[in-house]
Structure formats: C-alpha cells, structure tokens
C-alpha cells in the first residue's frame, strides 16, 4: 500500500511539475496580457458604456410617451352654495309691472355641495418633427464618442503589447546573464583548482589563490543581485499579464535572430495614418464641429406633434377625453446670446485643428527619432560583438601564457572578468534592440499586426 502511494505521488509529480515549470513564450504572454490586463479591462468597460450612450441617443428618434396622475381630497367642499326659500315675482313681459307684481312663484331652499375630490390621469405621446438637427447630430456625437473609446482601447492594447515585450526581453536578458554567470563561475572553479595545485606545489603564492576566491565571492554577490532582480521583474511581469506569481515561470526565448532596422522601416507620413493618437485628434475636430451644430440647433424652431388622453373623475361623474396637438417653439430672445456661443465653438474648432497639426508634427518627429534609436541600438550590437571577440582573444592569449608560467593570476582574472563583462554588455544591447524594435512598431502603429 505504501509503495502504491509513493508511485501515485511520483506520477502526480511527473504530470504537475513540468506544467508549473513550463516555459512561457512571448506570444502566450501577449495573449495573457490582452486577456487579463486591468488597464485593458477598464478601456473595454468604457467602450461598453459609450455603446449604451449611443443606444440611448437613438431612442430620441421615437415618440416620447408620458403618463401622469393627480388625485386630491379636500377637508371641505370646494363648491358650497346655500340659497334660502323665496317667492319670485312672475314676469308678464312688461318691466314696469315687476315692482307691483300680484303673482309669485315659490322657490324652495337650495343647497349645492360638491367638488371635495378630483382624480385625473393624462397620457401623452409627442413625436418631434424638427428639433434643429439636435437629434441627428446628437446621434452622430454618440457614434463619435464610441469611435474615440474604440481608438483608446486600440491605443491601450498597443501600449500593453509594447510593455509586454519590454518586460519579456528584459527577463530573457536576465536569464542569459544567469547562464553566463554560471559558466563564468564554473571557469573560475576550474582555475581555482589549478591555482590550488600550483600553490600546493609551491609554484604560486597564497595571494594568487586568495584572488581567485575573492573573485568567486564577487560572483556569489552578483548572483544574489541577479536573482533578486529577476524575481522582482517576474512579480511585476506576472501582475502585468494577469497571472499568479510563481518562481518557476520562465521565458522561452534567447536573443539570437535579430533583423536589421531596414526590415522594419516605414515612412513617417505613411505611419502617421496608423497612429491611434492621430485618428483620435481627427475625431476631436469632428466632435467640435458637431458641438457647434448642436448649439446652433438650440436656437432654431422646434416642431412636434402629439396625441393624448385625459380621464377626469369629479362631480361624481367619470369623463374621458382624447386630444391631438402640435407645438412650435421659437427661441427668439436667445438668438443674440447664441451668436456669441456659436463664435465660441468656431474658435474651439480652430483650436482642435491647430492641435491636430501640432501633434501630427510631433508624432512624425517621434517616429523619426524611434527609427534613429533603432539604428544606433543595432550598431551597438555590432560594437559589442567586436568587443566580445577581442576580449576572447585577449583571454585566450593570457590563458596560454598563464599555462606557460609567464602571466600572473591577477592578469588572467582581469582578462576573464573583461570577457564576462563583454558578454553581459552584448546581452544588454541585444535586449535593448528587441525593446527598441517593439517601440518602433508601436510608434508606426504596427505593434499589434
């Protein structure tokens, strides 16, 4: 039974642990970021809200139906008439005989008490025929607002993808640095053994052995810093792509294939049309134009027709009435002030157009700068490769002379440290180039393609 439990545990381990330690690709990271990132979730909710605004604006094309009811109960009769009994002269047709009438008609006392309650209900349906274009332009504004929120979502998506690449390639660089540091440590351990043998044979001083050990201590310190930096970056990266943090998360790439900058080049003017910011700036101009039309509509005649029904319960009688009506509203006194309001909107349109021109120029400058940064970054890779090659040659020469007893331990350690430093620099510039590529694709609007 105990053997069976152990077998089940081992089987579970074989199935589970590889999954936990499974490497994660850049494509998978992008998919997770687009699915889980909280900034994108907020942008999607704003887009959903703007869609509801659009649907609400569309309802203004339909009649407005209103219903109201009114009920009142008085503590006393509102209509209270009391007349005493009386004799009224009989009129024979001659006004002169009224004062000397000999015949009279008896009128008994009269009491009228009514209207101590009233119940009413009214239902109306009003269909606007002309509202100065406010309904039509209001719907256009709602559609425009939805488009702007969609563009904002696209922009947030592009930025999230660029940030994902930034984190990813930094993690790749740290992983490669960990690998090179491990190789460097292995090399130093081999050197330590050689120096230890030389020291035991009395061929070198103890200081030479201590120098190697000190260099190994430096490696341990660097390893701690590297591990800590990697762990912190993994935490930030996990939050960014929306997954629980695990130390076992590991990026799957190494920085090997690097295409030259020409592979990504795009003319700044052509790339401008791809930028979400440029599209949003154009929509801002359109929005100001529509706002002016909306304001103008407020000072135009408003025409509507309607039908209604009235129910009245009073005087101990129930009555129902149907009615049809039309309304025409002309805001005459507002025309004077409205002219200044329209001039204000005209100025705002000019401001939006000026902002479009200015920001378009800045966006093109940003695109040009990003490409120059890409070229410089690529050149740094070639320089770093040359430096690494030279440091290898220098290290090899000192290793040969060290074996021949000509070079001391300090010089050899320095040569190997320079080689290690050259490796790290090459890893850094390659990582930075990948990040610069992502940034360039972002500014030319191709990061999500």
**351-384 confidence digits (pLDDT tens):** 999 999 999 999 999 999 999 999 999 999 999 9
Structural domain contains residue 394 = yes
Strand ranges for 357-419 from DSSP E: none
What mean pLDDT, rounded, does the chain reach?
86
Least confident of 91-95, 154-158, 223-227, 281-285: 91-95
| Residue predicted with more confidence, 89 or 445 | 445
Alpha-helix residue ranges (DSSP H) falling in 206-334: 206-241, 268-272, 276-298
**Confidence category of residue 2, pLDDT binned at 50, 70, 90:** very low
Cβ proximity of 30 and 253 under 8 Å: no
Q: What is the largest CA-CA distance in the chain?
A: 167
Residue 221 reports pLDDT greater than 90: yes
227 CB burial (10 A radius; 0-12, 13-18, 19+): middle
Residue 22 in this model has a pLDDT that exceeds 50: yes
With contact defined as beta carbons under 8 Å apart, do 127 and 305 qualify? Answer: yes
Whether residue 390 lies inside any domain: the answer is: yes
Handedness of CA 333, 337, 341, 347 (dihedral sign): positive
Instruction: Give the span between the Cα atoms of 164 and 302, in whole angstroms.
Output: 54
Average pLDDT over residues 107-114: 68
At 14, the pLDDT band (50, 70, 90 cuts) reads very low
The rounded percent of the chain whose pLDDT value lies above 70 is: 88
Q: What is the CATH number of the domain that holds 394?
A: 1.20.1600.10
Pick from 6-10, 178-182, 216-220, 404-408: least confident: 6-10
3-state class (DSSP) for residue 441: helix
| pLDDT for the residue numbered 12 | 38
Q: How far is 442 from 30, CA to CA, in rounded Å?
A: 14
1 — pLDDT class (breaks 50, 70, 90): very low
Neighbouring CB atoms inside 10 A of 89's CB total 14
Q: Is residue 123 part of a domain?
A: no
Element (H, E) at 130: strand 117-130
Residue range 239-255: mean pLDDT, rounded: 84
d(CA 126, CA 131): 12
Domain count of the fold of the chain? 1
How far from 170 is each of 148, 237, 255, 315, 361, CA to CA, in Å?
A: 33, 10, 10, 87, 32
| DSSP for 161-180, written as a single string | HHHHHHHHHHHHHHHHHHHH
pLDDT of residue 406: 85
Q: Residue 104 belongs to what H/E stretch? A: strand 104-107
Residue 198 is predicted with a pLDDT of 84
Cβ burial, residue 440 (10 Å; 0-12/13-18/19+) = buried
CB 216 within 8 A of CB 185: yes
Rounded to 5 degrees, what are φ and ψ at 65?
A: -105, 130
Distance, in Å, from the CA atom of 421 to the CA atom of 384, rounded to the nearest integer, reads: 10
pLDDT at 201 over 90: no
Tell me the backbone φ, ψ of residue 313, rounded to 5 degrees: -120, 100
Confidence band for 113, pLDDT divided at 50, 70 and 90: low
Q: Which residue in the block uniquely carries the two structure tokens 């005459």?
A: 332
Tokens of 62: 């339909």
Assigned domain for 393 exists: yes
pLDDT for the residue 114: 62
- State the pairing for strand pair 250-251/23-24: parallel
The C-alpha atoms of residue 278 and residue 377 are separated, in whole angstroms, by: 27
What's the Cα-to-Cα distance from 57 to each of 52, 74, 130, 148, 423, rounded to whole Å?
A: 9, 43, 16, 16, 62
Q: What is the mean pLDDT of residues 286-301?
A: 91
pLDDT tens across 296-355, in order?
A: 988 888 888 989 888 887 766 677 888 888 888 888 877 787 788 899 999 999 999 999
- Average pLDDT of span 43-64: 91
Tell me the mean pLDDT in the region 86-100. 70
* DSSP secondary structure letter of residue 438: H
Q: What is the Cβ-side half-sphere exposure of residue 314, based on CA atoms within 13 angstroms?
A: 19
Poorest-pLDDT segment among 126-130, 212-216, 318-322, 424-428: 318-322
Q: Match 């490669």 to its residue by tokens.
A: 176
Q: Kindly state whether residue 293 falls inside one of the protein's structural domains.
A: yes
CA gap 309, 271 in Å, rounded: 62
Q: Which of 441, 400, 449, 419 is nearest to 162 (CA)?
A: 441
Dist. CA 132–CA 77, nearest whole Å: 48
In a domain, 316, yes or no: no
Residue 349 resides in a domain = yes
Does residue 78 surpass a pLDDT of 90?
A: no
Higher pLDDT, 427 or 298: 427
% pLDDT > 90, the chain: 53
Q: In terms of Cα–Cα distance, which of 435, 446, 447, 438 is closest to 270?
A: 446
In a domain? residue 10: no
Domain boundaries, position 245: 22-61+131-299+334-443
In the structure, what pLDDT confidence band is assigned to residue 130 with cuts at 50, 70 and 90? confident
* Of the candidate ranges 65-74, 102-111, 233-242, 424-433, the one whose mean pLDDT is the lowest: 102-111
C-alpha pair distances (Å), 60 with each of 12, 68, 87, 122, 292: 62, 20, 66, 22, 19
Which residues on adjacent β-strands are paired with residue 107?
A: 86
């Amino acid at each position: 039974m105990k053997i069976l439990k152990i077998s089940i545990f081992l089987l579970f381990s074989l199935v589970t642990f590889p999954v936990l330690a499974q490497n994660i690709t850049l494509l998978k990271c992008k998919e997770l970021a687009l699915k889980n990132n909280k900034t994108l979730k907020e942008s999607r909710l704003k887009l959903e809200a703007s869609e509801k605004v659009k649907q609400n604006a569309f309802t203004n094309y339909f009649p407005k139906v209103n219903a109201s009811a009114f009920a009142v109960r008085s503590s006393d009769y509102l209509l209270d008439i009391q007349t005493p009994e009386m004799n009224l002269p009989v009129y024979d047709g001659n006004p002169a005989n009224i004062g000397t009438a000999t015949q009279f008609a008896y009128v008994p006392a009269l009491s009228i008490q009514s209207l101590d309650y009233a119940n009413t209900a009214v239902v109306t349906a009003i269909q606007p025929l002309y509202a100065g274009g406010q309904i039509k332009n209001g719907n256009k504004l709602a559609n425009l607002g939805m488009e702007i929120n969609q563009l904002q979502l696209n922009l947030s998506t592009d930025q999230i993808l660029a940030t994902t690449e930034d984190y990813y390639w930094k993690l790749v660089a740290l992983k490669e640095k960990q690998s090179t540091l491990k190789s460097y440590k292995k090399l130093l351990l081999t050197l330590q053994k050689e120096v230890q043998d030389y020291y035991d044979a009395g061929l070198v001083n103890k200081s030479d052995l201590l120098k190697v050990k000190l260099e190994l201590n430096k490696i341990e310190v660097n390893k701690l810093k590297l591990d800590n930096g990697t762990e912190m970056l993994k935490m930030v990266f996990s939050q960014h792509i929306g997954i629980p943090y695990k130390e076992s998360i590991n990026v799957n790439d190494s920085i090997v294939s690097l295409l030259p900058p020409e592979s990504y080049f795009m003319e700044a003017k052509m790339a401008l049309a791809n930028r979400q910011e440029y599209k949003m700036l154009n929509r801002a101009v359109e929005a100001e134009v529509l706002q002016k039309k909306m304001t103008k509509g407020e000072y135009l005649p408003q025409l509507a027709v309607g039908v209604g029904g009235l129910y009245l319960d009073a005087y101990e009688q129930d009555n129902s009435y149907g009615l049809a009506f039309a309304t025409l509203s002309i805001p005459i006194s507002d025309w004077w002030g409205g002219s200044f309001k329209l001039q204000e909107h005209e100025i705002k349109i000019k401001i939006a157009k000026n902002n479009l021109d200015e920001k378009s120029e800045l966006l093109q400058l940003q695109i040009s700068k990003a490409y120059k940064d890409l070229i410089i970054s690529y050149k740094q890779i070639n320089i770093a490769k040359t430096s690494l090659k030279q440091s290898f040659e220098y290290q090899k020469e000192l290793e040969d002379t060290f074996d021949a007893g000509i070079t001391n331990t300090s010089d050899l350690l320095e040569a190997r440290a320079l080689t290690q430093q050259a490796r790290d620099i090459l890893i850094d510039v390659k990582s930075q180039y990948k990040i610069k590529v992502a940034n360039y694709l972002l500014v030319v609007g191709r990061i999500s393609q």
